[in-house]
């Protein structure tokens, strides 16, 4: 953990002393590191270019973290956006991401959202990643009303099974996502769908937090095969997101390096597409987690200890409403005390929410901690704040950013009672 380390027994994030930050801001709060965010983006985008992929376009998945300032930093690096709602579209535009770099995914796009996306430029956004025939009918009719031609990409359901949590697996027949090959080919051959729409790409996204890339390879191979079968000269192939991070130390040895992932994408496209066609469609990516997960932490305060026979609960002021992943997916996130000491206790770190699943970690080895001590939940930059809620009528937490100049900036105020109630 290069960005998290102890100095004189006090935890630092990107060189900033966390105890000092917590003196000035009320816990719980998210703290992001711009330097790490940008470095992750550059590693990803640079890796795609280094692997020789054609004119790569990296569309950051806003659902992982739509914070304005983080998006501005990514936009300045040339990032595009993968969005799934009118809210995310507006946020991406406001952060300076041009419509020509925006892909719109999701099975439930509404008419209002489609019209808004079509109106962003003469030709609308870069692409509607279409997930059903009815959706294409609606987009075509919206474009007709606006006298435009919508840019369409079909999201292929490649019928593969990635190794990940079943809630975040998306590439199989039983999942609501994507279209099966036969349905895509039938739609391509149905002229009524294309009066105001044009097929420009094909995409695939099989799931998230992928550490084993076998299914990724099979998904991209299927993408290439179906792209060739459409017989339409496609502008781009979109290989989706999904590359995981090592939340658990045991995952570190399994974690694919970005360079290896890019080499796999390049080799699969070379074998299954370039070997059979002279076309060189550009390659689009939709990463979220890999760019932002490790660039954020959640800082919480211990409220009290509670011992029930041999169960030791450490009750903290952050809850599942602030960070859902452990309660929703049983996800592991490291917990670190801000003050370093010998970890001689085994405890369950729990929040104040009235749900048994409101637990950030069971049987964790931690030092003795008392009311007011600080504890950090690691790798919470992705699917953290964005999945938070007001459950139990708790306000949304503060978001802070360590800028590249090592300045601390509030990038989203905590929600007070005036706003909440
Ligand atoms: N593209 C599409 C079409 C997606 O559905 C997703 C994520 C992504 C890209 C970005 O995937 P990433 O690179 O971040 O893995 N809340 C869950 C993750 C849900 C992911 C949903 N789709 C979690 O906390 O693990």
Atom of ligand 1 nearest to the CA of 289: 14
Residue 355: Cβ-neighbour burial (10 angstroms; 0-12, 13-18, 19+): middle
For the Cβ of 106 lying below 6 angstroms from any atom of ligand 1, the answer is no
**Each residue's pLDDT tens digit, 181-211:** 999 999 999 999 999 999 999 999 999 999 9
Atom of ligand 1 nearest to the CA of 170: 5
- Residue 242 CA, ligand 1 centroid: distance in Å: 6
Residue with CA nearest ligand 1 atom 20:
208
Is residue 209 within 8 A of residue 176, CB to CB? The reply is no
Q: Percentage of the chain surpassing pLDDT 90?
A: 95
Mutation pick for ligand 1 pocket among 208, 258, 325 (CB with most ligand atoms within 8 Å): 208
Mean of pLDDT values over 333-351: 98
CB contact burial 263-299 (16+ within 10 A = b; e otherwise): bbbbebbeebbeeeeeeebebbbbbbbbbbbbbbbbb
Mean of pLDDT values over 101-109: 97
For the Cβ of 289 lying below 6 angstroms from any atom of ligand 1, the answer is yes
For the Cβ of 40 lying below 6 angstroms from any atom of ligand 1, the answer is no
Which residues are CB-contacts of 108 (< 8 A; sequence separation ≥ 6)?
A: none
For the Cβ of 242 lying below 6 angstroms from any atom of ligand 1, the answer is yes
For the Cβ of 207 lying below 6 angstroms from any atom of ligand 1, the answer is no
Atom of ligand 1 nearest to the CA of 203: 3
- CA 155 to each of CA 87, 172, 184, 340: distance values in angstroms, whole numbers, following the listed order: 21, 12, 9, 48
- Residue 64 CA, ligand 1 centroid: distance in Å: 7
Q: What topology is assigned to 4-33+296-420 in CATH?
A: Lyase, Ornithine Decarboxylase; Chain A, domain 1 (2.40.37)
CA-nearest of 278, 135, 127 to 200 is 127
- Residue 114 CA, ligand 1 centroid: distance in Å: 21
Phi, psi (degrees; rounded to nearest 5) at 103: -110, 140
CATH assignment, 98-285: 3.20.20.10
**Each residue's pLDDT tens digit, 226-270:** 999 999 999 999 999 999 999 999 999 999 999 999 999 999 999
For the Cβ of 34 lying below 6 angstroms from any atom of ligand 1, the answer is no
In residues, how long is the chain? 421
- Residue 208 CA, ligand 1 centroid: distance in Å: 5
**Each residue's pLDDT tens digit, 131-181:** 999 999 999 999 999 999 999 999 999 998 888 787 877 778 888 999 999
| Mean pLDDT of the chain, nearest integer | 96
For the Cβ of 333 lying below 6 angstroms from any atom of ligand 1, the answer is no
Q: What is the pLDDT of residue 171?
A: 75
Q: Percentage of the chain surpassing pLDDT 70?
A: 100
- Residue 195 CA, ligand 1 centroid: distance in Å: 32
Predicted confidence (pLDDT) at residue 1 exceeds the cutoff of 60: no
**Each residue's pLDDT tens digit, 370-385:** 999 999 999 999 999 9
Can you give the C-alpha Rg of the chain in angstroms? 23
- CA 238 to each of CA 189, 257, 269: distance values in angstroms, whole numbers, following the listed order: 21, 20, 11
Mutation pick for ligand 1 pocket among 210, 242, 287, 380 (CB with most ligand atoms within 8 Å): 242
Mutation pick for ligand 1 pocket among 108, 288, 330 (CB with most ligand atoms within 8 Å): 288
Boundaries of every domain in the chain: 4-33+296-420, 98-285
**Each residue's pLDDT tens digit, 41-92:** 999 999 999 999 999 999 999 999 999 999 999 999 999 999 999 999 999 9
Atom of ligand 1 nearest to the CA of 155: 3
Is residue 124 within 8 A of residue 99, CB to CB? The reply is yes
Predicted confidence (pLDDT) at residue 26 exceeds the cutoff of 50: yes
For the Cβ of 288 lying below 6 angstroms from any atom of ligand 1, the answer is yes
Q: Report the C-alpha gap between 206 and 138 in whole angstroms.
A: 25
pTM over 0.75: yes
For the Cβ of 240 lying below 6 angstroms from any atom of ligand 1, the answer is yes
Count other C-beta atoms under 10 Å from residue 117's C-beta: 25
For the Cβ of 168 lying below 6 angstroms from any atom of ligand 1, the answer is yes
- Residue 339 CA, ligand 1 centroid: distance in Å: 34
- Residue 163 CA, ligand 1 centroid: distance in Å: 14
Q: Rounded to 10 degrees, what is the CA torsion of 384, 94, 390, 107?
A: -70
**Each residue's pLDDT tens digit, 283-333:** 999 999 999 999 999 999 999 999 999 999 999 999 999 999 999 999 999
Active site residues: 354
301, β-bridge pairs = 374
- Residue 266 CA, ligand 1 centroid: distance in Å: 22
CA-nearest of 362, 368, 375 to 316 is 375
For the Cβ of 351 lying below 6 angstroms from any atom of ligand 1, the answer is no
């Amino acid at each position: 953990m290069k960005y998290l380390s102890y100095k004189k027994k006090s935890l630092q994030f990107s060189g900033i002393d966390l105890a000092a930050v917590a003196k000035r801001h009320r816990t719980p709060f998210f703290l992001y590191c711009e330097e790490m965010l940008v470095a992750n983006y550059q590693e990803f985008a640079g890796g795609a270019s280094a692997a020789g992929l054609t004119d790569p376009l990296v569309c950051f998945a806003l659902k992982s973290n739509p914070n304005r300032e983080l998006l501005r930093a990514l936009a300045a690096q040339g990032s595009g956006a993968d969005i799934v709602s009118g809210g995310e579209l507006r946020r991406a535009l406001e952060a300076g991401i041009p419509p020509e770099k925006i892909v719109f995914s999701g099975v439930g796009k509404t008419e209002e959202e489609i019209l808004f996306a079509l109106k962003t430029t003469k030709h609308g956004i870069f692409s509607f990643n279409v997930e059903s025939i009815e959706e294409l009918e609606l987009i075509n009719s919206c474009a007709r009303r606006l006298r435009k031609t919508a840019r369409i990409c079909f999201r292929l359901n490649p019928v593969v099974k990635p190794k990940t949590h079943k809630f975040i697996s998306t590439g199989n027949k039983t999942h609501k996502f994507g279209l099966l090959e036969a349905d895509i080919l039938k739609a391509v051959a149905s002229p009524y769908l294309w009066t105001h729409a044009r097929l420009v790409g094909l995409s695939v996204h099989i799931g998230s937090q992928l550490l084993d890339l076998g299914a990724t390879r099979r998904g991209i191979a299927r993408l290439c095969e179906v792209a060739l079968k459409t017989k339409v000269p496609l502008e781009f192939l979109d290989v989706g997101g999904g590359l995981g991070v090592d939340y658990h130390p045991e995952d570190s040895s399994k974690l694919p390096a970005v360079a290896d992932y890019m080499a796999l994408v390049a080799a699969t496209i070379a074998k299954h597409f370039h070997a059979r066609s002279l076309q060189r469609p550009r390659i689009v990516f939709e990463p979220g987690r890999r760019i932002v997960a490790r660039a954020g932490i959640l800082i919480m305060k211990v409220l009290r200890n509670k011992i029930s026979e041999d169960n030791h609960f450490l009750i903290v002021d952050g809850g599942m409403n602030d960070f859902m992943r452990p309660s929703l997916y049983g996800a592991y996130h490291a917990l670190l005390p801000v003050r370093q000491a010998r970890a001689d206790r085994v405890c369950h770190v729990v929040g104040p929410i009235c749900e048994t699943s409101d637990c950030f970690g069971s049987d964790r080895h931690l030092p003795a901690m008392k009311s007011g001590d600080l504890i950090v939940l690691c790798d919470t930059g992705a699917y953290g704040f964005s999945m938070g809620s007001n459950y139990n009528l708790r306000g949304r937490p503060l978001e802070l950013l360590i800028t590249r100049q090592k300045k601390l900036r509030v990038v989203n105020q905590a929600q007070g009672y005036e706003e909440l109630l």
